[in-house]
Structure 1
Amino acid sequence: MPDEARATPPPPTPSPTGTVLQYFDDTRRTSPELPAVEYRGRQLSYEQLGCAADTLAAHLQGLSVAGTVVGIRTDRSFRLPIAILAALRAGAAYMPLDHAYPEARLDFMMRDSGMRVLLTHRTPKGLPPVPSGTRVVLLDDDIPSAGDGQLPLTATADDLAYVIYTSGSTGTPKGVAMPHGPLRNLISWQRETFTSGVGSRTLQFAAASFDVHFEEMFSTWGTGGCLVLIDEEIRRDSHRLLRFLDEQRVHRVFMPFVALQALAHTAQDVGRHPRSLQEVVCGGEQLYITPAVRRFFDALPGVALHNQYGPSETHNVTALRLSGDPASWPERAPIGRSIDAARVRVLDGDGAPVPAGVTGEIVIGGPVLARGYLNRPGLTAERFTPDPLGPPGSRVYRTGDAGRVDDQGRIHFLGRDDGQVKIHGYRVELGEIESAVRALPEAADAAVVVNESRTAGKRLVAYVVGRSPLPDDLRDRLGETLPEYMLPVAFVPVDRLPLTPSGKLDRQALATRELTVTGRAGSGVGPAEDGVQRDLTLLWEHVLDAKDIALNDNFFQLGGTSLLAAVLISRINERFGAYADLETFISRPTISAMAEWIGEQSGIQEQPDTPRPMSQQPVRLDS
């Protein structure tokens, strides 16, 4: 970080009550010319961004949105921060609607939330569909300006700031209703904890439907920093992301472990590191300090790695800072200690704290809790319960996460005992996926578990009681109702589901079954024909932990993700001396198409029976 960024004092600390907008407003008042957001080389100052949001907020106030939910469905441009700031200033809660979600899921969210206004823009496909009676407000390409000064705040600490939908165990997504107060507490703590300050540059990496997106924005604006926006194509491609971080002098980045792991692999492969980086913040899933992560931070001395923990119902409530020699960092990082005002405890079944080293449930209290689940009072009462150790009227959120406290007072996350899992940073209720699978006419019953591969990472697998063989299009049909990160990579037919002695589903028995994802080559469908294709097949098998991959099997339909694709692309470039980026691979997601592209780039022409020997060891995500 530049010395001048460190030397400039942060904006005055506002009163401890109020909304998160007051941090933005303080910077806008004291340093209006500072850059607040940057996109494709263009910057908006705090005054320009505030004026644009004021103009839109004034229009929203005319639509009487105060106290309601405003939907936002837009791209990763200036439109998104303007829309969020405007909704909050108008006294509404914002609800992100992710373009990647199936229309059926988006329709449910819009109806369930009672949303009456949608902020969006035209796309080549036209305007998105909305429920009857919903008012659509278009976000202009030009940045508007307000002529009547800054609009006064109408919200309070108790009013909702956002509604973010998460997976539901009954098959129905649930909206977490988060007020300003807990978010204000989080940003206030981060202002004192992170080294990022006035003039520092934070990458906007998270999807708007992920609560970390809020943290990226307001922790940056809370200290007079600049939020650096990126297009989705760069975000998903670790090669382009690495170049972007370096060339754009990014100081801080928030990302889940799987994204950090892919970035670390890429940095090692290409011999390039983002030299301006000062802080990396991980959250959303267990952080592992793999050899690749150690090498990444060893090449960047002085860069701190923060491990944060917190469910959507509380946002982040614990933190651990790792610095110094990466060789000394623990392989499985603790989630640390409670942030300011949060009361994070490990309790036994009777609600009493457990001794150090003993496993219990992680329970969260203090002024950090969401209001509950929108329009779900029964579920809210079940998960948000009276605090047995707190003052009268106080509540706790029972996370369902297992944990323990070590002799240094740090909390360790040990996983879950129920049907909730974390996949690539997203919290997923297995019951919701199971409900969707059971709704298929071919399925009499189904169970979904997480299979953990040493090369492919965590994978969702559906075991289906039904006719065998199962149709090949089950994943495509599920994709009409479930987002991509909730789709199983394999559908395994079984005669019956295993049960425990007490008659319950034995998920452990399914999760520990050996599984290798299988392509169609075993059925004689397009096996490799030449050396390039055979080399590509071996690379795919290593990365996907798969076998019998056919020439026209789609990488992503075999369970590949953009992060696994980044690992594979690095190996392809290393093996063939070509340069492929994620966009190239997405447009050619089969061995046949990729082999043709390699031939066009490098002129490789080999005879069918002269395969080139593989030079690399099997790819491991834990390396």
Structure 2
Amino acid sequence: MIDGARALSYRELDEWSTRLARKLIDAGVGPERAVGVAIGRCAELVVAWWAVVKAGGIYAPVDLDHPVERIASVLDAVDAVCVLTCGTDDVAGAGTRPIVRLDGLDLSACSAQEITDADRLSPLRAGDTAYLIFTSGSTGVPKGVAVGHSGMLGWAAAQRELFGLGSDARVLMVASPTFDASVGELLLAAGSGAALVVAPPQLYAGEALTALLHDQRVSAAILTPTVISTLDRARLDRLDTLVAVGEACLPELVDAWAPGRQMFNGYGPSETTIWVTCARLSAGEPVRIGAPISGVCARVLDAWLNPVPVGVVGELYLSGPALGHGYLGRVELTAERFVANPFGAPGTRMYRTGDLVRWMSDGTLDYLGRADNQIKLRGQRIELGEIENTLLACPQVTQAAVTVADTATGSHLVAYVTLDHNATTDRDLQQDAEDVQEWQHLYDDLYGADLAANFGEDFRGWNSSYTGEPIPLEEMVEWRSATVDRIKSLRPRRVLEIGAGSGLLLSQIAPHCDQYVATDFSAVAIDNLARAMERLQLPWRDRVELLTQPAHVTDGLPQGHFDTIILNSVVQYFPNAGYLAQVIDKAMELLAPGGAVFIGDIRNHTLQGAFQTAIALARGDAADAAEIRQRVRHATLGETELLLAPEFFTSWARSRPEAVGIDIRVKRGMADNELNRHRYDVAIHKAPAAVRSVADEPTLTWAQCNGLRGLRETLTSRRPPPSASPTSRAPD
């Protein structure tokens, strides 16, 4: 086994796993007793697998990237005796179960002699459960599939005969530990005496996987078609055995990859052992799921469980030693899917796959689709109903539908929901009020500190997320100047600013206006502005009106009066998107015909992943990729501010006929900081206004732009004539 710079012989693997197995037996692990395995791909995962098998226990993998509730539900469902880990002493969701950390574990006192039934808590039988894999459930609750030792024995023997691998082969291990293909990778290598090449946990596809396959001289791999399509086949001439599993394998992929190697298509649900049919693939030939492997009985039946003739579509039923035991703790579901076998001995069962197939004249099976709402994507069987039920649990969702969309980048799950915008509960309203009040207290404290030296120049609180230090003053001045220029291009005369703060914009725009009404929910901020303007005897102060009120309150403000309404760098502190929509709706009522609502410095939800990754890398110190990913995930889940994708505004405008133009623009500036990289501005134009639709304009990916020079040339060549309005865009 090769894991990075580490290499283990079969003898070393055998002795290590045997010693660990004895440790597990002492901890109470034995036949039909489960062990939670919370380990990513590494040598320790392989050792853990063999140790659990030798102890006679049930291997139950969990993914530490899953929600805590999911991990806890799996460990509770299997009643895990303990949890094996590597690199951590903490497994969220493990409860009070013992945690056994393999790296650094002293096993010197444990014998490496072969384990027999005399050592185990009870004799190990071929029919005992070997592993549990949790798959998607239609009710929203994942279901655990129990698979026995007999199925694994038959599967390993069948693959050795089918692929003809020997001890000189090098088999890749890249599947997720919670996916049964990872078991297949282990058995394929061990059954052939081949080397097992373990891919790092963060490596799944693309250039990184191509490099690993090339550098480690991998000769056999089990991969999803999606992953295969990301590899550079020109560099993988040593990869002479390739098995496509987990999702539909397209003919174009076979045409590209089958020449010069043996390529197979493996099919099988998790309710059976790994895969149960396999087809040898050739370029230019139809892609089928093949014939049953040795020890598997496949039948194509009609609705009355009668066999159908060759060429006639029916549902696929599977039986034989490869059949799983059923669903853990789900008696009714097991009875529904694992039905009595009328063709076999009394007491035997068949698994009803839900897959529609037909026999071909050559004895192979042709897959035609599903008879239910289950799909298989990137190796994972997914009940679309599980996702739909989870969405329907949200109070504001009244309808939900989930489907699979095929795009140029592969297949993706897409959810469609119908929202009840009137479903706001008393609890929601109370939470909104509490959120607003929390921000109000924070800014009362900020503005209550000593006043900045110059009015309108108080940039306190603008700190870099990368360093925690204040953003350089010259960058803040540039940021403010770009915003002021953008607002001035709207030709403001009668202005309402919601969230005036310390007067950064008021001080620059109010002198050029006939009227400027500034509101803020912080009484301290409003008082500071009033005192500062009076102290400085600003000649235009009589044209400024200051009001203390939250953003959604418009009492006393004239409707249809203001030509420009400003909300700059404030909407991120709103409690939710519904509150923002309410504020914009009220602002549109206050706006004069032909006026504009300017919403500036919006945090871009679409770029949240990139932003949090940049922060994690900047503060990463010596953190590895896995730690960086974990930090990004935690930061994203812990986000307290409101982030908005640009599509929010075009979606909002579709039901507001008075909003005739939505102008969404990236931030302008020379400084390379988070304000310019990850925020944007929006101007909403009220009818009547000249608009220029961009519905027919081309959409370019970054790769199509040929870098910054190409982007500049593209934008310059498409620059509108001076007579065209540069500030309005149609909502579409």
Kindly state the Cα deviation for residue 219 of structure 1 after the two structures are TM-superposed: 1.4
Aligned equivalents of 1:197, 1:225: Cα separation in 2 = 6
Instruction: Give the match for residue 34 of structure 2.
Output: 69
Partner deviation per Cα, 1:126-148 (whole Å, 9 max, x = no partner): 61224433111111247956544
Which residue of 1 is the match for residue 715 of structure 2?
609
Which amino acid in 2 is paired with 1:304? Q
Please tell me whether the aligned partners of residues 21 and 54 of structure 2 are also in contact (alpha carbons under 8 angstroms).
yes
Q: 1:343 to 1:57 in 2, by over 3 A?
A: same
Q: Which residue among 161, 177, 202 is the counterpart of 2:171?
A: 202
Q: What are the superposed Cα offsets for residues 338-380 of structure 1, whole Å, 9 maximum, x if unpaired?
A: 1111111110011111112211101101121101111111111
The residue number in structure 2 matching 1:184 is 153
- Candidates 102, 105, 119, aligned match of 2:67: 102
Task: Verify the 8 A CA contact 2:315 2:352 in the aligned structure 1.
Answer: yes
- The one-letter code sitting in structure 2 at the alignment partner of 1:429 is E
Aligned to 2:144, the other structure's residue is in SS state: strand
Residue equivalent to 1:392: 346
Give the counterpart of 1:329 among 263, 285, 289.
285
Alignment deviations for residues 259-314 of structure 1 (CA, whole Å, 9 cap, x no partner) = 11222xx44xxxx3212111101111121121x5423444xx1x011111110001
Query: What is residue 22 of structure 2 aligned with on the other side?
Result: 58
Greater C-alpha Rg: 2
CA contact (8 A) 1:116 1:133 kept: no
Q: Distance in 1 between matches of 2:81 and 2:717?
A: 61
Q: Tell me, what secondary structure is at the counterpart of 1:445?
A: strand
Q: How far apart, CA to CA, are the structure 2 residues paired with 1:456 and 1:129?
A: 33
Pick from 244, 263, 269: which aligns with 1:311?
269
Count of paired positions: 459
SS at match of 1:55: helix
Cα offset, 1:399, TM superposition: 0.5
What does residue range 474-623 of structure 1 map to in structure 2 within 5 Å? 519=647, 522=650, 524-526=663-665, 576=706, 606=712, 609-610=715-716
Distance 1:79 1:521 in 2: 49
Distance 1:152 1:552, change over 3 A: farther
Q: CA deviation at 1:425?
A: 2.0
For 2:240, the aligned partner's letter is Q
Q: Which moved more, 1:201-210 or 1:388-397?
A: 388-397
2:306 aligned counterpart, secondary structure: coil
| Match status 1:134 vs 2:97 | yes
User: Helix, strand or coil: the match of 2:344?
Assistant: coil
How much has 1:46 moved relative to structure 2?
A: 0.6
SS in 2 for 1:71: strand
Candidates 401, 422, 438, aligned match of 1:447:
401
Shift of 1:329: 2.4
Give the letter aligned to residue 84 of structure 1.
W
Counterpart CA distance in 2 for 1:113 and 1:132 is 13
Q: Secondary structure at the match of 1:162?
A: strand
CA distance in 2, matches of 1:529, 1:280: 50
Q: Who is 1:231 aligned against? A: 200
Q: 1:120 to 1:346 in 2, by over 3 A?
A: same
- Matched residues in 1 for 2:189 and 2:156: separation? 9
- Alpha-carbon displacement from aligned partner over 1:485-513 (angstroms, at most 9, x marks no partner): xxxxxxxxxxxxxxxxxxxxxxxxxxxxx
Give 1:57 shift. Answer: 0.9
- Cα 1:383–1:182 change in 2 (3 A) is same
Counterpart-to-counterpart distance in 2, 1:572 and 1:227? 38
Structure 1: distance between partners of 2:649 and 2:68: 34
Q: Residue type of the partner of 1:60?
A: L
CA RMSD between the two structures = 3.1
SS at match of 1:165: strand
Kept after mapping to 1: 8 A contact 2:18/2:111? no
Q: Secondary structure at the match of 2:29?
A: coil
Distance 1:350 1:519, change over 3 A: same
| Alignment CA distance shift 1:415-1:179 (3 Å) | same
Q: SS at the partner of 2:230?
A: helix
Distance 2:13 2:46 in 1: 8
**Corresponding residue for residue 369 of structure 2:** 415
Structure 1 position 151 matched with structure 2 position 115 = yes
Alpha-carbon spacing, 1:247–1:463, altered in 2? closer, same or farther (3 Å) = same
- Contact 1:529–1:608, Cα closer than 8 Å, also in 2: no
* CA distance in structure 2 between the partners assigned to 1:78 and 1:370 by the alignment: 27
Flag the 1:319–1:518 CA change in 2: closer, same or farther, 3 A.
farther
Gaps of 5+ in 1: 1-36, 477-516, 531-549, 554-570, 577-597, 613-623
The reply to whether residue 218 of structure 1 matches residue 187 of structure 2 is yes
**Identical positions, percent:** 32
The 3 A distance-change label for structure 1 pair 575 and 181 is farther
Secondary structure of the 1:234 match is: coil
8 Å CA contact retained: 1:202, 1:227? yes
Give the letter for the 2:76 counterpart: R
Q: What TM-score results when the alignment is normalised by the length of structure 1? A: 0.68
**Counterpart contact for 2:87–2:103, Cα < 8 Å:** no
Q: Residue 280 of structure 1: SS of its match in structure 2? A: strand
Q: Which amino acid aligns with 2:164?
A: T
Q: Contact conserved, 2:131 with 2:147, CA < 8 A, in 1?
A: yes
- Per the normalisation by structure 2, the TM-score is 0.58
Distance 1:611 1:228 in 2: 51
Deviations 1:183-235 (A, max 9, x none): 11111111111121112100101111110100100111111101101113332
* Counterpart-to-counterpart distance in 2, 1:428 and 1:412: 21
> Structure 1: how far apart are the matches of 2:420 and 2:93?
36
Q: Counterpart in 2 of 1:246?
A: 214
* Contact residue 261 and residue 293 of structure 1 kept, 8 A: no
Which fold has the larger relative contact order, with Cα–Cα distance below 8 Å and residues 6 or more apart in sequence? 1
C-alpha distance 575-444 of structure 1, shift in aligned 2 (>3 A): closer
Structure 1 CA distance for aligned equivalents of residues 296 and 646 of structure 2: 46
